[in-house]
Amino acid sequence: MVLLDGKEVSRQIRAQIALEVSGLIGNGKRAPHLAAVLVGDDPASQTYVSNKEKACREVGFLFSVYRLPDSTTGEELTEVVDFINKDNEVDGLIVQLPLPPHISPTRIIEAIDPSKDVDGYHPLNFGRMALNLPSFLPATPLGILKILEHYRIETDGKSCVVIGRSQTVGTPVSLLLSRKSTPGNCTVTICHSRSHNLVEISSGADILIVAAGRPEMVGADMVKEGSVVIDVGIHRLTDANTKKGYRITGDVKFDKVAPRTSHITPVPGGVGPMTVVSLLLNTLKAYKKEVYC
Ligand code: NAD
């Protein structure tokens, strides 16, 4: 069994990005610049934004964060998005989700200039992705493609089961792996909370991608011998037997499943680090105007 080491792969990609950025700066150019908008004081969102800031700074990107109170209206937030859209010194713009319940995330995402939409959530980017046209790919699905690519995992003609149909993970990764592309050309089945016979379906997969948000729901009976398992889930479970009092786990029972697989991502250290580095790759793409000229 080969461990798909997202930490190491992302380290290598970050080193390449940092080298490219230092070359740009050495040639008198400005650094790529990512702006994040954070509404309210949700601790998880604050942590996500500070992780993104740290990752940006480490590779030499500029990073700005616009912190707005929970009471911000949809109109006010749209104005901030519009202001950043017009700033020629900002390449990428992300609005940290979730937003407070009184603000429609769809409206806000639609207000982002698609050429700065490095999260790849704007309908124009999502549509272009589905049509196999140049676009910003959502970070987690892009990270999954990058890890498959790095380990030269054959996807052509393989049967791929994706558990989960969220707009940010399950649905886009299903589209990406079914596209005429490399990685891609899979025969994809999408499962979700209303699916019947999940065990039967998932245990037929050559490549199983789990993004259900259910701690350790996938056991050995759901996995085909010799398959590739990508665990997107991330959970903190109370565990009195550990020093910290908790342990981090995924949607897969790693100890039971890993021996059956040919390749598997650990949690932590699998998909998570690949997600952050994918945002950096998209920001660099936006800076270089590779998607929209
Ligand atoms: P989500 O809650 O938006 O979607 C979960 C999906 O799983 C839904 O489509 C639902 O229908 C399906 N589902 C739920 N229970 C199921 C069941 N018992 N059987 C079959 N399908 C079921 O979640 P999401 O945003 O896609 O995230 C999924 C998990 O991945 C979460 O644990 C999240 O924290 C994690 N995540 C990790 C990263 C990362 O970078 N590592 C990024 C995004 C999400």
Phi, psi of 223 (to 5 degrees): -125, 135
* Nearest CA, atom 17, ligand 1: 193
Share of the chain above pLDDT 70, in %: 100
Contact yes or no for 128/134 (Cβ under 8 A): yes
> Domain range for residue 85?
27-113
> What's the CATH number where 65 sits?
3.40.50.10860
Q: Which atom of ligand 1 lies closest to the CA of 143?
A: 40
Check whether 152 has a pLDDT greater than 90. yes
Say if residue 144 is in the same domain as residue 75: no
Ligand 1 site, residue 211, Cβ cutoff 6 A: yes
For residue 97 and ligand 1, the question of a CB distance below 6 A is answered with: no
User: Are 181 and 85 contained in the same domain?
Assistant: no
Q: Which is nearest to 145 in space by CA: 51, 4, 19?
A: 4
**Is the C-alpha dihedral spanning 209, 278, 63, 75 positive or negative?**
negative
Give the residue-averaged pLDDT of 46-59.
97
163 within domain boundaries: yes
Q: Report residue 264's pLDDT band, with 50, 70 and 90 as the boundaries.
A: very high
Global model pTM greater than 0.95: yes
Total tally of structural domains belonging to the chain: 2
236 CB neighbour count, 10 Å cutoff? 12
Q: What's the 211 CA to ligand 1 centre distance in angstroms? A: 4
| 87: in domain | yes
Q: What spacing in Å lies between the alpha carbon of 213 and ligand 1's midpoint? A: 4
Task: Answer whether residue 283 is part of any domain.
Answer: no
Mutational pocket test of ligand 1: of 217, 229, 234, 280, the residue with most ligand atoms within 8 Å of the beta carbon = 234
The residue among 98, 113, 128 that closes a domain is 113
Average pLDDT in the chain:
97
User: What residues are annotated to the active site?
Assistant: 52, 96, 119
Query: Is the bond preceding 268 in cis, omega lying within 30 degrees of 0?
Result: yes
> Is 290 inside a domain boundary?
no
pLDDT value of position 141: 98
Amino acid (1-letter code) at residue 265: T
239 and 151 within one domain: yes
Please write the tens of the pLDDT for every residue from 225-261: 999 999 999 999 999 999 999 999 999 999 999 999 9
Give the pLDDT confidence score for residue 293 in this predicted structure. Answer: 79
User: What is the model's pLDDT at position 62?
Assistant: 98
pLDDT surpasses 90 at 53: yes
What would the pLDDT profile of 128-146 be if each residue is shown by its tens digit? 999 999 999 999 999 999 9
Cα distances (angstroms) measured from residue 198 to each of 76, 204, 250:
44, 10, 18
Burial pattern 155-178, b for ≥16 Cβ within 10 A else e, equals: beebbbbbbbbbebbbbbbbbbbb
Beta bridge partners, 191, equal: 163
| pLDDT above 90 coverage of the chain, percent | 100
Looking at the fold, whether 86 and 146 belong to one and the same domain comes out as no
Q: Which helix (H) or strand (E) holds 34?
A: strand 33-39
Asked if residue 149 and residue 261 are part of one domain, the reply reads yes
CA of 10 to the centre of ligand 1 (A): 22
CB of 214 within 6 A of ligand 1: the answer is yes
The label of the residue with tokens 């990685």 reads 183
Mean pLDDT across the stretch 113-117? 98
How far does the centroid of ligand 1 lie from the alpha carbon of residue 216, in Å? Answer: 12
Any idea what the CATH number is for the domain that residue 172 is in?
3.40.50.720
Q: Tell whether 86 and 155 lie within a shared domain.
A: no
Question: For residue 211, which atom of ligand 1 is closest to its CA?
Answer: 28
Burial of 278 (0-12, 13-18, 19+ CB in 10 A): buried
